[in-house]
């Protein structure tokens, strides 16, 4: 069961109707410190929008950062029934049963504990790395793959 605060933050990020939020609001929604936000901006890890009224944190950038923070199944759970209207079908999660050597299973649980995530979260990140390394090839042979890799682009 997810903490109410996490659910509220995820829902606000993904269900936000405006195209951007203030930097302070994005900091709170992502659970970052002001220092983390400042470092992310300074390093170019996040890209802000500049308008005559100031600098803003784009919604798509918040969604991308949320995908780095929480595994997709956690985001889906937080969004509940509204996930269908927000998350493209191609990135929706599905159950996969596999048989692995026990030392791999132990390793996955250990990495999940170390990364403060779930086994699914560990596998998701590792598979994203494989996907990135082979994006051109996979985009040619798997319908929707390129769109999934580009989501939540601007």
Q: Where are the beta strands (DSSP E) in 5-141?
A: 20-21, 49-51, 54-58
Q: List, in sequence order, every residue forming a beta bridge with 49; answer none if it has no partner.
A: 56
| pLDDT computed for residue 154 by the predictor | 58
pLDDT along the chain (154 residues), means of 10: 89 92 95 95 93 92 93 94 93 94 97 93 94 96 94 79
Chain-centre distance for alpha carbon 116: 15
The pLDDT value recorded for residue 58 is: 94
Domain segments of the chain as ranges: 4-150
* H or E segment to which residue 87 belongs: none
CA–CA gap between residue 123 and residue 112 (Å, rounded):
9
pLDDT computed for residue 2 by the predictor: 74
Strand, helix or coil for residue 2: coil
Amino acid 16: pLDDT: 87
In the prediction, which pLDDT does 43 show?
95
What are the angstrom distances between the C-alpha of 102 and each of 10, 106, 109, 121, 126?
34, 6, 11, 19, 18
């Amino acid at each position: 069961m997810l903490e109410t605060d996490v659910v509220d933050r995820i829902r606000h990020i993904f269900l936000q109707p405006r195209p951007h939020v203030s930097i302070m609001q994005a900091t709170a929604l992502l659970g970052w410190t002001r220092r983390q936000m400042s470092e992310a901006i300074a390093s170019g890890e996040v890209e802000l929008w500049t308008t005559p009224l100031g600098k803003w944190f784009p919604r798509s950038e918040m969604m991308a950062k949320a995908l780095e923070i929480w595994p997709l199944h956690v985001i889906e759970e937080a969004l509940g029934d509204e996930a269908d209207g927000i998350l493209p079908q191609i990135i929706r999660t599905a159950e996969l049963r596999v048989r692995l050597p026990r030392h791999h299973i132990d390793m996955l649980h250990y990495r999940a504990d170390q990364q403060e995530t779930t086994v699914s979260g560990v596998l998701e990140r590792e598979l994203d790395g494989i996907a990135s390394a082979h994006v051109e090839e996979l985009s040619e042979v798997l319908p929707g793959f390129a769109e999934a890799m580009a989501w939540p682009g601007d």
